[in-house]
Structure 1
Amino acid sequence: MNLNKNTKVVFADDSDIHHFLLKNLIPQFASLELVCHASDGDELLRMIDRHRDIPDVAILDLHMPRLNGNLTAKELLARFPKIKIYGFTSSSDEKERSAMLRYGFCKVYSKNQLRDLLTEIASLSL
């Protein structure tokens, strides 16, 4: 990874506790920069448009109001073909997890694996 460039991360999840956890964990990873976070995919896309920063990585919950993780991933990949998208879900349904991979997610993590997810993202060579 280029040491002069932080990995720009965007996050969408409808759970306030996961926003709290992410905001408190991400400073432990010097190479990661949280650009924006939202409560659903629609809000995230609007925030990215306002920020005008091209994200390197998106962390998306599957089940969110207005625009779920799969549809958000589809839109993000259309806008930013090089973006890496990671699933972050409480769903243990293998069909739902497989569908996420078909929508372009690199990997799907369970909600109790946030530190592991951030560790993987911090190790990416972008």
Structure 2
Amino acid sequence: MKKTIVIVDDHILIAKALQGIIDNFAAFEVIYVCENGKELIKNFENSNKIPDILLLDISMPIMDGFETVAWVTAHHPEVKVMALSMQGEEKSVIKMVSNGAKGYLLKNAHPVELENALTKLNINGFFYPDWASKIIFSSLNKTKDMEIKISDREKEFLKYTVTELNYKEIADKMFCSPRTVESYRDQLCEKLELKTRVGLAVFAIKNGFA
């Protein structure tokens, strides 16, 4: 079964062209297109068609990508959001990732690169090209656990943050309750000054915990 995608972009010609490209991919299909975040929310609230992946433009009228990804993260955390934008500036990347985006790709990417990005996002739960990873790693600017005290159980939890397991499934793997796993998450977010699971996953990869 193909993974479903929704495109949110106020440039309809670009969105439709993108839809045509994606619909030719073997593993993905676009189920509908929205012009902004408000329209997306209406579709989510009035329809059962919640996609697996959301391709989200940043600069849009009415409700931009920053607001939209924050809403989706809060209300539908199971949806993997990839920012697809002309903006590659550090501030935009960091803000989108901080608000919950699990991927970032520029609009001038080749279709082969887009298909690869969608595949990795689907399998790994996140995708960032090298240039975006460098920005994210630099923004974290965190020291290793020698200076920030991270317990063995927290390290184990960090290992699972890069997987597609939800918190209940992580709890089963760690032989503890979901509430305990949430406690590990909250403690690590406080220690590392992070806000999202994506931030924890990036930290885990950077510091060799995953």
TM-score (norm 1): 0.85
Deviations 1:72-105 (A, max 9, x none): 1111122211211100111132111111111111
Look up the SS of the partner of 2:109 in the other structure.
Answer: helix
Question: Mean Cα displacement is larger for which, 37-46 or 115-124?
Answer: 115-124
Determine if the alignment matches structure 1 residue 47 to structure 2 residue 37. no
Q: Tell me the residue number matched to 2:8.
A: 12
The two structures, once aligned, show a CA RMSD in angstroms of 1.7
Aligned residues: 122
Unmatched segments (≥5 aa) in structure 1? none
Bigger relative contact order (CA 8 A; separation at least 6) = 1
> Deviation at 1:44?
1.4
| Counterpart among 79, 96, 100 of residue 100 in structure 1 | 96
Greater radius of gyration (CA) = 2
- Spell out the pairing of 1:29-40 with structure 2 (5 A cutoff): 29-40=25-36
Q: Tell me the residue number matched to 1:120.
A: 117
TM-score (norm 2): 0.54
Q: Which has the higher strand share?
A: 1
The answer to whether the Cα contact below 8 Å between 2:73 and 2:99 also exists between their aligned partners in 1 is no
Distance 1:58 1:91, change over 3 A: same
Matches of 1:114 and 1:63 in 2, distance apart?
21
Matches of 1:55 and 1:35 in 2, distance apart?
8
Distance 1:44 1:118, change over 3 A: farther
